[in-house]
Chain A
Amino acid sequence: MLSPVFNPEQAFVVLGVVAYLLAALAAWAGVVVRKPIDRLVQLCLGLAVTACLLAIVIRWQQTGNGPFLTLYEVLLSNLFSLGLIFAVVFYLVPRARPASLLLLPMLGLLGVWTLDTDPAPLELPATYDTALLWIHVGVGKVFLGMNMVAVGLAALIFARRLKRDVLVNSPVAADEELDDLAWRFMAVAFVFHSLMLIAGAVWAQDAWGRFWAWDSLETWAFITWLFMALSLHLRITWRIPRWSGSLLIFGVFILAFLTFFGVPFTSVGPHKGIL
């Protein structure tokens, strides 16, 4: 909920969300005019990431805690990290830029969700006071970012499957190339997801005296990992059609999205402080 009093943190979040939506508009404008407007997309993306970073910094100064606990904080930190990862990919891997057609509107929507979430802070439980949290969350964000870029590329393949003439005249690479690129991002995502599970297990061992306890979050994270392993194996074993590969990438992302933004806030577990 937006506060009626001027709040610099929320102002930066609003700026970030507007910048993401403008970036999305610029990406789609490139399709309409059949000429990419990459500079403008990059500028808006950079502005959005910077605004989200500033919002996090201001919040951190006020609460004394990093953005790790509440749904608002997790959304805000992902708005920053996913935007940053995509900005880096946009700059370094020009062939992945068409993913912006889906990802930038998606980040804009994530931003709107952030603005609609209660920003009230909570104190971090004592078990969160560890470097392992940073490693766990950091590699987790890289995983989600890589998976998200793969989704952006897979969506283009799937869109063409649904409507053959879509994006025909746009500067988007061939399906074969998009598919190859998408699975490369999935491979990186798999490595980082594995690291996330390891760091999480080490943290859980230190914090709660067990590395595995069928806790909702860890179980769904493991299910995501298994589904990703299954997807990678399916692609090797049966050389599945590209559109089915796209569906698998979507499946991984849906599981990951629910694990990141759903499970921790709907389950009662040790990830929250108790008496």
Chain B
Amino acid sequence: MHESAINLLRPLASLKLTLLGIVALLLGVLLAYFNQQHSSLYIVPPLATLALNLLAAIVFNPRIRQNSGLLMFHICLLMIAILTVLSQLTSMKGRVEVTQGSAFDASSITVTQQGTWHRFSRLAQVEFVQRDIEVDYLQGLRRGQTRSQVEYQGREITVGDNVPLKGSGYRFYTTSNKGYAAVVNWYTKDGRAERGAIHFPSYPLYDWKQTNQWQAPSGEALAFSLTVDTALDKNRDWMLRRSDSAYIEITLPDNRVHMLRPGDRIELKNGVLEFEALRMWMGYKVFYDPFLAWFFAVALVGVAGIGWHYYLKLASPVKQRAPRKEQTGRGRAVTSLQS
């Protein structure tokens, strides 16, 4: 039984299968590159074949087992394949917009990818408040540094380019998606108040289209248009930051237009709408992968393994052949190194 199982598994260690697997993976990567929607379909079968082949080779191939560096490299490749599967099952990607002065709300995340085993319970533990946002722009509107201040665990920290906010295993990356938000209060006739923010499109990308729509709790559909003085000049260096010099125009369902400055109110059918202030919002990319550090460590150990293996091989002398004498057509002997 044991012998028959070994006989069954041994062919899986074939180097020819390795070649086939690599060629299939190459084709899979090319297909996935041109059709990313079905990338798993193209990548998983060759990757699974190579993983099985690797496992069998580690067990049965004496050349791999006898070379510690080569063994280390192949074990690490297998581990990367396993980690890829685990990562797919547990990781999460999403995006969220957080208004300046507001706390991050886990329920407002738009999930773009979620592993079957991912649980959101830890995300609720992430608490931070968005503070000031500043983005440098160089002449010609080339984006420079992004500085997003957040209050996290009682500390003010700055996140931005190459520096994400990390909490409970989640990472929050600033994006190029950011802009202005009108903070509004809604007062009902019976005295209750609700607070919210209307996010206008990304600025300065859509500086010509700072509009949005909102339905008041009373059911009225309102159209908002923001005019903000940011001193934006494409021909000079400039900084995107909060501005108090702004007003919004609200178009009511009957097409009447009201202009509101910060602090102004407008009476609607069943309540009062107050434009409290103009703030900013930052779009974050949310990322969770508990195996990120493992990927890095395993990849480095793998490269160290193959590096060690090649170092030992390279330390051996180069194959050399003594030049041989041969006769040329004119009858004189010359040195030839032709093999």
Kindly state whether residue B220 has any CB partner on chain A within 8 Å.
no
We find that the number of chain A residues with CB closer than 8 angstroms to chain B is 54
Give the distance in Å from the alpha carbon of A26 to the alpha carbon of B26 in the complex. Answer: 41
Complex contacts, B16 vs chain A, CB 8 Å: 237
B114-166 at interface with A (beta carbon < 8 Å): 136, 138, 141-146, 160-164
B161 touches A214 (CB 8 A): no
* Contact between B338 and A274, CB atoms less than 8 A apart: no
Across the interface, A173 reaches (CB within 8 A) one of B136, B173, B285, B337, namely: B337
Chain B residue numbers with a CB within 8 Å of A208 are 173, 285
Q: Tell me if A164 and B18 are in contact (CB < 8 A).
A: no
From A126, A175, A181, A223, give the contact of B318 (CB < 8 A). Answer: A181
Does B319 count as interface, using CB distance less than 8 angstroms? yes
Given B202, B295, B334, which contacts A169 in the complex, CB threshold below 8 Å? B334
Does the CB pair A195–B303 fall under 8 Å?
yes
Give 13 A-B contacts (CB < 8 Å), ordered by A residue.
A95-B318, A129-B145, A164-B338, A168-B338, A173-B320, A174-B321, A174-B323, A174-B338, A190-B310, A211-B295, A226-B26, A230-B26, A275-B176
CA of A234 to CA of B16, assembled, Å: 9
Which of chain A's residues has its CB closest to B144's CB?
A126
A275 and B161 within 8 A (CB): no
Interface residue A269 (Cβ < 8 Å from any Cβ of B): no
Q: Which residues of B sit under 8 angstroms from A229, Cβ to Cβ?
A: 22
Bound-state Cα–Cα, A230 to B17, Å: 12
Given A176-B319, A230-B26, the answer on whether A206 and B162 have CB atoms closer than 8 Å is yes
A209 touches B285 (CB 8 A): yes
B205 touches A214 (CB 8 A): no
Q: Is B8 an interface residue (CB 8 A)?
A: no
- Tell me which residues across on chain B come within 8 A of A188, comparing CB atoms: 310, 314
Please, how many angstroms separate the alpha-carbon atoms of A35 and B15 in the complex? Answer: 44
**Is B227 on the interface with A (CB-CB < 8 A)?**
no
Say yes or no: is B252 at the interface (Cβ < 8 Å to chain A): no
Give me the interface of A with B, judged by CB distance under 8 Å.
Answer: 95, 122-123, 125-127, 129-130, 132, 160, 164, 168-169, 172-177, 180-181, 184, 187-188, 190-191, 194-195, 198, 201-202, 205-211, 214, 216, 219, 222-223, 226-227, 229-230, 233-234, 236-237, 273-275
Q: Can you list, as one digit per residue, whether each of B19-55 has a CB less than 8 Å from chain A (1) or not (0)? A: 1001101100110110010010000000000000000
Q: Is B320 within 8 A of A275, CB to CB? A: no
Out of B142, B162, B205, B318, name the residue touching A130 (CB < 8 Å): B162
**CB-based contact A191/B310 at 8 Å:** yes
Known: A127-B161, A206-B162. A230 touches B23 (CB 8 A): yes
Closest to A93 in B: B318
Given A187-B310, A223-B29, A237-B16: A126 and B160 within 8 A (CB)? Answer: yes
Contacts of B271 on A, CB cut-off 8 Å?
A: none
10 nearest A-B residue pairs (beta carbon): A209-B173, A175-B339, A126-B161, A209-B285, A237-B15, A174-B321, A187-B310, A174-B339, A275-B205, A206-B162
Check if B299 is an interface residue, CB within 8 A of chain A. Answer: yes
CA distance A99 to B176 in the complex (A): 47
Q: B93 contacts the other chain (Cβ, under 8 Å)?
A: yes
**Contact A226–B25 (Cβ < 8 Å):** yes
Q: Which residues of A contact B292 (CB under 8 A)?
A: 205, 211
Give chain A residues whose Cβ lies under 8 Å from the Cβ of B141. 275
Instruction: State which residues 257-288 of B face A: CB under 8 Å.
Output: 285, 287
- Chain A residue with the shortest CB-CB distance to B77: A229
B215 interfacial by beta-carbon distance below 8 Å: no
With beta carbons under 8 angstroms apart, the residue of A125, A160, A222 that contacts B29 is A222
Distance in angstroms between the alpha carbons of A222 and B204 in the assembled complex: 35
A206 with B163, Cβ < 8 A, contacts A173-B337, A194-B306, A273-B143 known: yes
Asked whether, in the complex, the Cβ of B19 is within 8 Å of the Cβ of A214, the reply is: no
Contact A184 B161 (CB under 8 A): no
CB-based contact B146/A236 at 8 Å:
no
Contact for B176 among A174, A181, A236, A274, CB less than 8 A:
A274
- Residue of chain B at shortest CB distance from A126: B161
Inside 8 A of B296's CB, which chain A residues have their CB? 198, 202
Please name the residue on chain A nearest to B161 by beta carbon. A126
Give every chain A residue within 8 A of B29 (Cβ-Cβ): 219, 222-223, 226
Residue numbers in B under 8 Å from A216 (CB-CB): 33
From B18, B93, B320, give the contact of A237 (CB < 8 A). B18
Task: Let me know if A184 and B318 touch, CB within 8 A.
Answer: yes
Would you call A219 and B26 a contact (CB within 8 A)? no
Known: A177-B318, A198-B300. A237 touches B19 (CB 8 A): yes
Neighbouring A residues of B26 by C-beta, 8 Å: 223, 226-227, 230
Residue interface bits B160-204, CB-to-A below 8 A is 1, else 0: 111110000001010110000000000000000000000000101
Using CB atoms, name the residue of chain B closest to A187.
Answer: B310
Complex Cα spacing A234 to B296, Å: 28
Known: A129-B161, A230-B22, A233-B18; 16 extra A-B contacts, CB below 8 A, are A95-B318, A126-B145, A126-B162, A127-B161, A175-B338, A176-B339, A177-B318, A194-B299, A194-B302, A194-B306, A198-B296, A209-B173, A211-B295, A219-B33, A230-B26, A275-B141
